[in-house]
Amino acid sequence: MAVSEVYILGGYQTDFARNWTKESKHFSALMRESVLGGLEATGIAPEEVESAHVGNFAAELYCMQGHLGAFFTEVHPAFSGLPTGRHEAACASGSIALLAASAEIEAGRYGLQAVVGIEQMKTVDSGTGGTYLGTAAWYEDEAEGIEAPFPKLFGRLGDEYDKRYGLNDDHLAEISRLNYDNAKLNPNAQTRTWYMNKEHALCRTDDNPAIGGRVRISDCSQVTDGAVCMFLANAEYAEKYAKGMGKKLEDIPRLKGWGHNTARLRFDDKIAESRSAEYVLPHVRSTITSAMKRAGIADVNGIDGIETHDCFTTSEYMAIDHFGITAPGESWKAVEEGWLEIDGKHPINASGGLIGAGHPVGATGVRQLLDGYKQVTETAGDYQIEGAKNIQTLNIGGSGTTSCSFIIGR
Amino acid sequence: MAVSEVYILGGYQTDFARNWTKESKHFSALMRESVLGGLEATGIAPEEVESAHVGNFAAELYCMQGHLGAFFTEVHPAFSGLPTGRHEAACASGSIALLAASAEIEAGRYGLQAVVGIEQMKTVDSGTGGTYLGTAAWYEDEAEGIEAPFPKLFGRLGDEYDKRYGLNDDHLAEISRLNYDNAKLNPNAQTRTWYMNKEHALCRTDDNPAIGGRVRISDCSQVTDGAVCMFLANAEYAEKYAKGMGKKLEDIPRLKGWGHNTARLRFDDKIAESRSAEYVLPHVRSTITSAMKRAGIADVNGIDGIETHDCFTTSEYMAIDHFGITAPGESWKAVEEGWLEIDGKHPINASGGLIGAGHPVGATGVRQLLDGYKQVTETAGDYQIEGAKNIQTLNIGGSGTTSCSFIIGR
C-alpha cells in the first residue's frame, strides 16, 4: 500500500469572542458546537468519520478534566466506539493533533479523520490562568512564583533581538495594530469590536501597562475560549467527496508540507544554543524551511500568506525574519514597507492572528489551518488574500520550544 | 513510497517500586533515567533517534507541568531540535503515544522513534491522587465530591457481571493472588517484596477495606511512579540494527497488529449501550479482535500470552472473556482451570500486571509492550512464558472508555 496524500475538507470555528463559562457551558458543549458545526460546514455525515484527534493544552487545570478524546464520542450517537486520542505540546497542541491525524491517513489507517483543537480558559481569573500557562515553560525554574511568566519570557525575546540587532517598540506597536485591524474583518475574531490603534499600542501610561518587561497589554494575545473542528481525508475519500460536490480531486486543498521541531525547554538554554547561529530561534527556522522543502516550495516568495503564532508582538517580529521575509534581524523592514498587510507582498495573519482573532491555546494550530483553508478556497470573506494559492502556518508551544508548520494549497 | 512495517527494538523500564518524590527527584529525572536506560539497553546512539513521543495522563495535576514532549530534548544534547509531542487518553496514554509513533513510521516520516510512557504520582496524598484520577472519568458527573471514584466505577463493573452472569469474589481474589505471585518474579515490579495471598485477598476485615463497593484494597493496582522508554523503527533501520547485532531482520519483533476504540465516557452510558450486546464492554472486545485481525491471528489460541489492564481485579475478569478465553460471563472457568498461570494455556500478566507490577498511569501501555518484547525475545527472565511467539496487550483508559491493543511477535 502506498502512502496517501492528505486532503483538507474544511471545518468550523466557534466565535472566539464568546465566554463559555459566563454562558454556564461545560467543555463538552464547546466540543459539541465545533464538531456539529464542522459536519454542517462540510456536509459530511457523522457516520463517515472514522477517527478523531483532539488538541488541547491543559483542560486538567482549567476544567478539571482529562481523557479529552472521549468527549468526541459524546457529540453524536454515530461516534460511539470511534478511535480517539488527545495530543499536547502547550500552545502547539492543535498542530500536534494535526500531525497525528495526518500521519494516520498517510499510513492508510483511516480514510476520514476529525481534528478538534479546543481550550476553555475563562474558567479562572487571569492570575490563575497565567500560572497555568506557566506549565508550558519549565514551571519550577521559569514560572513558579512569577507573575505573568509568559509575557516576561517573550519580553526577553524582544530584548534578545534588541541586543543582537536593535529593536524599536514602534515596530511592535505596528504589528499589534495590524492584527487588531485584520481582526475587524473576521466575524469569528475575539477582538473584532475592540478599540486599538498604533497610538494606543504605543501608549506608555497605566492604560496599557507593561506586564512582561517591554511587553505591554497591547502586545499580548488575550485569554480566549474556543474550538475548531477540521476534517482530513485520504485521496480516495477526498475524490468521492469532491465528486459529490460536482468538483474534481484537484479542487480539494492538500496538506502540501509540514515541519516539526522541539528546542530545549528553558528560554535561557535556547538563547545560549543560538548564540552563534544566524537566527535567534534556529529550530523555528528549520520547522519553516522543512515544511517548504516537503511542499517543493523554494522560499517565502512561493507562499501567498502566512498564519503565524503571535502570542505576543515579539513572536511575530521573530516570525518575520525566520520565514525569510527579511534577512535575520531586519523584520522591521517588512513592517515599514507594509509587506504584511492583507494586500501587501507577504500578508501575515489576515485573520487577525492570536492577538486579534484570539488564542484558545489548544485550538490555535487548527484555527490557523482552517484559515489557510479559507484563503486557498477563496472563502475568507472580508479578509481574503487575493489569489492565495499556498498558505503557511507557524504554531509555537512554550517560549519557542515546540514549533509546527503546515503548508496548505491546491 | 510504501507503508513500512514497524519493528520494535526494545527499551527500558524504571524500577516501579521507587518513590521519586521521596528521592527529591523531578519529573525530568524520571524521563532521563528511562531514556538513557533505553539507549543503553538497545545499544542505540542518541544521534540516531529522529523523533520522540511521550505518553502521560496528568502531569499538569500531579507535577504542575505540561509541554511534556519537550523534556525529551533535555535528556541528551543530541536531542535538541527533535520533533516531540505528548499524547493522552487517561490510563491508555502510553498506547496512544505508541499509536502516534507507529503511524509516523508507517507513513515514512521517521526511521527511528523513541516512545516514553511516564507518570509521577506519589507527589500527592492518596485522596488528592484519587481526585486527580477522577478526571479520567466525566469529572463533574462521576467523580466530583466522590471518594475513590475509580474503585467505585470498577466495583460497578463487577456488579454488572454479577447481575448478568453471577460473580464470585473468590475468583477476583485468585486474580489478585496471581498478579502478586507473578510480580515476585519481576525485578521491576512495585509489589515484588509485598505480602499477599488468596486468604489475605479474601479477608473481609479492616486489614483489607472495601473502598469501592465490592472492590477492596487487594483488588486495586497501586499508586506508582515509573517510566518506560521503547524504540520503534522502520524496516530499513531495523535491518541495519539487526545486522549490527549479527542478526537478521526476521529476528527483530514487529508490531503485528493494533486495535483502538473509544466508548462513551460515562460508565452508565456504556452499560446502557451494551444492554443487549454479547459482551459487557463491546468496544473493548472490538479493540482486541481488530488487533488480531490485523495480525492475521484468528483467535486467542494464536496468542501465547496477554499483558492486560488490571487496574482492578474486575477489569482483568472482564478481559478474560473479552479476549475470548471463555464464553462471555464465564471468565471464572479460566481462573479455576489455572489457564492464566505463566505455564497455563492462556497466561495473563506474567509480569504481575498493574496490580502486581504497578500502574504509573501514562507508562502502562508502553510497559505492557516492553514486557511483550521481553517475552517474544525470550529475555523475560523468571517470568518468561516458554516459547512465546505472539503477545497481545490490552490497555484501557477510564471506565472501559478508550481501549488499545497491540500484538507483538516475530
In a domain, B186, yes or no: no
Residue ranges of alpha helices (H) inside A43-76 are: 59-62, 70-73
- Does the CB of A24 have a partner CB in chain B at under 8 Å? no
Q: Which three cell numbers stand for residue B102?
A: 507507529
Digit-coded pLDDT (tens) for A177-226 = 999 999 999 999 999 999 888 888 888 777 888 888 999 999 999 999 99
State the pLDDT at residue A37: 98
The Cα A314–Cα B403 span in angstroms is 43
**Domain assignment of residue B319, yes or no:** no
- Asked if residue B187 is part of any domain, the answer here is no
CB < 8 Å to A29, chain B = none
Burial letters B224-247, b for 16+ CB under 10 A, else e: bbbbbbbbbbbbebbbebbeeeee
Task: Give me the pLDDT at residue B1, please.
Answer: 54
More confidently predicted of A203 and B101: B101
| Contact list, B83 vs chain A (CB under 8 Å) | 260-262
* Interatomic CA distance for residues B318 and B153, integer angstroms: 13
**A320 close to A326: Cβ distance less than 8 angstroms:** yes
In a domain, B360, yes or no: no
Between the CA of residue B183 and those of A35, B30, B53, B210, what are the distances in Å? 45, 22, 28, 23
A283 in contact with B, Cβ within 8 Å:
yes
Q: B44 falls in which pLDDT band (50, 70, 90)? A: very high
Rounded mean pLDDT, A150-164: 97
H helix count then E strand count, chain A: 16, 11
All three cell numbers of B175, joined, read 486474580
Interface test with B, best of A61, A67, A96 (most B CBs within 10 A): A67
Q: Residue B213: helix, strand or coil by DSSP?
A: coil
The DSSP letter of residue B142 is I
**Model confidence at A400: pLDDT above 90:** yes
Q: Number of helices (H) and strands (E) in chain B: give both, helices first.
A: 15, 11
Q: For A246, left (φ over 0), alpha (ψ -120 to 50), or beta?
A: left
Q: Which of A2, A65, A83 sits opposite B135 (nearest CB)?
A: A65
Coil/strand/helix, residue B268: helix
Nearest to A87 among B83, B85, B106 (CB): B85
Q: Which grid coordinates are listed for B141? A: 458527573
Position A57 pLDDT exceeds 90: yes
On the question of pLDDT at B88 being above 70, the answer is yes
C-alpha B157/C-alpha B163 separation (Å) is 10
Q: What share of chain B is helix, strand, coil (3-state, %, to 5)?
A: 45, 20, 40
Q: How many domains does chain B have?
A: 1
Query: Which range (A200-214, A235-249, A371-385) has the least confidence?
Result: A200-214
Retrieve residue A5's grid coordinates.
496524500
The reply to whether A236 falls in a domain is yes
Nearest Cα residue in chain B from A109: B103
% of residues, chain B, pLDDT over 90: 94
pLDDT tens for residues B319-371? 999 999 999 999 999 999 999 999 999 999 999 999 999 999 999 999 999 99
Calpha distance B166→B72 (Å, rounded): 48
Most B CBs within 10 A among A5, A25, A102, A262, hence the mutation to make, goes to: A262
Q: Which residue of B has its CA nearest to A71?
A: B265
Smallest Cα–Cα separation from A352: which of A330, A334, A374? A374
User: How many CB pairs lie under 8 A apart between chains A and B?
Assistant: 205
| Whether this model's pTM surpasses 0.90 | yes
Task: State the Cα–Cα distance between residues B402 and B235, nearest whole angstrom.
Answer: 29
List A residues 345-404 in contact with B (Cβ-Cβ < 8 A).
Answer: 397-398, 401-402
Tell me the helix, strand and coil percentages in chain A, rounded to 5. 45, 20, 40
- B230 inside domain: yes
CATH classification of the domain holding B237: 3.40.47.10
Euclidean distance between CA atoms A14 and A118, whole angstroms: 10
Does B88 contact A96 at a Cβ distance shorter than 8 Å? no
In contact, B52 and B72? CB cutoff 8 Å: yes
Nearest of B308, B342, B253 to residue B11 by alpha carbon: B253
Q: For residue A215, what is the enclosing H or E element?
A: strand A215-216
A163 belongs to a structural domain: no
Say yes or no for a CB contact (<8 Å) between A100 and B87: yes
Q: What's the pLDDT tens digit per position in B166-189?
A: 999 999 999 999 999 999 999 999
Please tell me the distance from the alpha carbon of residue B191 to that of residue B15, in angstroms, as a whole number: 11
Residue of A nearest to B282 (CA): A81
Please judge whether B103 and A99 are an interchain contact, meaning their C-beta atoms are less than 8 angstroms apart. Answer: no
Of B2, B87, B104, the CB nearest to A1: B2
Q: Which residues constitute the domain of residue B56?
A: 7-124+224-244
Query: Distance (Å, rounded) from C-alpha B80 to C-alpha A274?
Result: 11
| Residue B373, C-alpha cell as written in the block | 518484547
Nearest to B135 among A64, A107, A109 (CB): A64
Q: Which three cell numbers stand for residue B269?
A: 452510558
- β-partners of residue A406 are A258
**What is the least distance, in Å, from the CA of B167 to any CA of chain A?**
27
CA distance B270 to chain A (A): 9
Nearest to A80 among B71, B85, B264 (CB): B264
Q: How far is CA A377 from CA A306, B129, B244, B340, in A?
A: 15, 49, 51, 58
A26 lies within 8 A of chain B by CB: yes
Q: Is residue A44 part of a domain?
A: yes
Residue B367 makes CB contacts below 8 A (sequence gap 6+) with: B13, B94, B117, B226, B228, B351, B357, B360
State the smallest CA–CA distance between residue B144 and chain A in angstroms: 10
Residue A90 at interface with chain B, using a CB cutoff of 8 Å: yes
Task: Please provide the distance, in angstroms rounded to a whole number, between the alpha carbons at the two ends of chain A.
Answer: 24
pLDDT classification of B198: cutoffs 50, 70, 90 = confident
- Tell me which amino acid residue B20 is: W
Q: How far apart are the first and last CA of chain B?
A: 24
Question: Could you tell me if A105 and A238 are in contact, meaning their C-beta atoms sit under 8 angstroms apart?
Answer: no
